[in-house]
Amino acid sequence: MPDDIPTVFQYGLICAGTEPVANLFEIYVSVIRDLAVPARKIHQWRVSGRLHGELVKQLEQHPGERQQYLRAWLEKAPWTLEGLDGPIVASRELTQEVLQPAIRYAGLPEWYTADHIKNAGMAGVWHCCFDLRVTVHSPVLHIPKTQFPWIFFGFCTCFDEDAERRLRDLYVELMYRCTFDELYTATKTASLISLFDTHGLGAGMRSFPNLEDMLRGSPWRFRIVYLLKQYVLCENATLHDFLAKTFGFAYCRGGDESADLKALYRRLFIEKRIDPLVLHRAAAKGRLYEMADASCGFAGAEKAIFRRLLNEGCPSSVPEGKLYGSYDENKDPAA
C-alpha cells in the first residue's frame, strides 16, 4: 500500500471497508506489475476521469483467474473510483486530520503541524513511536516496510499481511492501555516485552512467532536477516554492504543475477514462508545454498548460479555478532 496520505486518497484506497481497499490495491499491483502499465499512465487515466474504465480494460487482458474475479468486481463497483479526477489533494488539512489523534496521545499542543513535529528536536526513536501511533490508528495507512518502525516494532517477523494487521491491532490495544511516554521509554530502553506484560498483553505478543526474540534487543540490536527481508520485499530499500556480502549479492555478475537472487529470497520469504531464523542460522554456518536448494529444488542454470553466489561466494561461516545490526538515530543501521 502507498505510504503517503495524498496517494491513498487520489487512487481510491480510502474507500469504505477493508475488502474494497484490498481489492483495489491488488488491481493496481496486477496492472502495474503483471501487465507492465507505467504508473504515469495510470496517473493520466485518473486526471482525465478514465481510471475505472481503463482498469477494467486492462484486467480483461490478464490471464489470471483471480484478476478476472477482480475485473467483474470492479465493473460493479465504479463508486470506488468516483471523484478522483480532480487536482492533487492539498494535503495540509488532510495530514493534520490524520496526525491529530497522535498529537493528543503524545501530549503535544493541538495546533502543532507536521512541520512543528519535524522540527521539534525530538530523538529518532521518539519520531518512530509517534509514527507508529499515527499509522496503527489510521483507517488508511499501514506500517511502511521501508521505514524503521516496520523492523524494530517487530512487523518484520510477520509471515504475511494478515499477521501484520493482527500485530497492528495488538499495538492499538497496547496504546489504549499505556501512555505515549511509557511507549517511548520502553522502546528506547529495549523493554517493550515488559510493557506488553505489564498491561496484560504478554500472551498476545508471544502468539507471534519470533516477535519476542525481535523485541528482546530492538532497536539497539536485531538480526540483519530482517534487513534482508526488507530489501527483497521493497523496491527502494537499501542494500547495505554487510548485507550484500553475507547473503550473496556482493558476488552477482550484473543486474540480472542480482534480480534472480532477490527473487529467490522473496520466494523463500513469501511462497515458502521460511522462518527468518532459519536463514540466520544458515548464514552463520555457511549453508545458505543447501537451505535454499532444499526449499526450492534448484535445477539447470539456476543451480549453477546460486551455487556460485551462495556456496562459493558467501562466507563459509559468519560469527554470530556479525549477524546483528543496530539502530543509529543519525544514520542507517550498521552491522
Question: Domain spans of the chain?
Answer: 5-81, 92-220, 223-326
Tell me the range of 85-94, 154-163, 196-205 where mean pLDDT is highest.
196-205
Is residue 79's pLDDT more than 60? yes
Q: Is the pLDDT of residue 49 over 70?
A: yes
**Mean pLDDT in residue range 229-249:** 89
Distance CA 29, CA 169 (A): 25
pLDDT of residue 5: 60
Q: How confident is the model at residue 280 (pLDDT cuts 50, 70, 90)?
A: very high
- Which amino acid type is present at position 249? F
Which three cell numbers mark 147? 521505514
Question: The whole model's pTM is what?
Answer: 0.75
- Would you state the cell numbers that stand for residue 58, as one nine-digit string? 486492462
The confidence score (pLDDT) of residue 17 equals 45
The C-alpha R_g of the chain, in whole angstroms, comes to 22
- DSSP-H helix ranges across 110-210: 114-118, 124-136, 148-152, 161-177, 180-188, 192-198, 202-206
Tell me the three cell numbers of residue 318.
559468519
pLDDT of residue 88: 46
pLDDT the model gives residue 308: 94
What's the pLDDT band for 139 if we cut at 50, 70, 90? low
Report which of residues 112 and 246 the model is more confident about: 246
At residue 255, φ and ψ (nearest 5 deg) are -65, -30
CA distance 81 to 86: 12
Q: Which pLDDT band holds residue 3 (cuts at 50, 70, 90)?
A: low
35 close to 61: Cβ distance less than 8 angstroms: yes
Q: Cell numbers for 280, please give them.
A: 540466520
Tell me how far CA of residue 160 lies from CA of 144, 154, 164, in angstroms: 14, 13, 6
Q: Poorest-confidence range of 113-127, 236-250, 298-312, 319-333? A: 319-333
Residue 314 has pLDDT above 60, yes or no: yes
Give the Cβ contact number of residue 97 at 10 Å. Answer: 12
The mean pLDDT of 316-325, rounded to a whole number, is: 92
Instruction: Name the pLDDT band for 16 (thresholds 50, 70, 90).
Output: very low
pLDDT value at position 95?
A: 65
Contact present, 56 and 77 (Cβ < 8 Å) = no
Query: What pLDDT, in 10s, does the model give residues 180-199?
Result: 999 999 999 999 999 999 99
Identify whether the C-beta of residue 68 lies closer than 8 Å to the C-beta of residue 62: yes
- Mean pLDDT across the chain, nearest whole number? 86
Work out the pLDDT band at 9, boundaries 50, 70, 90: low
CB atoms within 10 A of CB 3: 14
User: In what helix (H) or strand (E) does residue 41 lie, and over which residues does it extend?
Assistant: helix 39-47
Kindly tell me if the per-residue pLDDT of 324 is higher than 70. Answer: yes
Of residues 60, 61, 118, 114, the one with CA closest to residue 91 = 114
pLDDT on residue 334: 47
pLDDT band at 34, cuts 50/70/90?
confident
Element (H, E) at 255: helix 255-266
- The single residue listed with the C-alpha cell 490495491 is 25
- Give me the mean pLDDT over the 53-66 stretch: 89
pLDDT of 332 > 70? The answer is: no
Please give the residue that has the higher pLDDT: either 7 or 311.
Answer: 311
pLDDT tens for residues 207-236? Answer: 999 999 999 999 999 999 999 999 998 877
Choice among 129-138, 162-171, 209-218, 239-248 with the minimum mean pLDDT: 129-138
Q: Predicted confidence band at 90 (pLDDT cuts at 50, 70, 90)?
A: very low
Percentage of the chain with pLDDT > 70? 87
Strands (E), 232-318: none
Q: Is the pLDDT of residue 275 over 50?
A: yes
**CA 310/CA 314 separation, integer angstroms:** 5
| Sign of the dihedral through C-alpha 188, 207, 235, 227 | positive
pLDDT for the residue numbered 186: 97
Q: How far apart are the first and last CA of the chain?
A: 29
Instruction: Indicate the pLDDT class of residue 89, thresholds 50, 70 and 90.
Output: very low
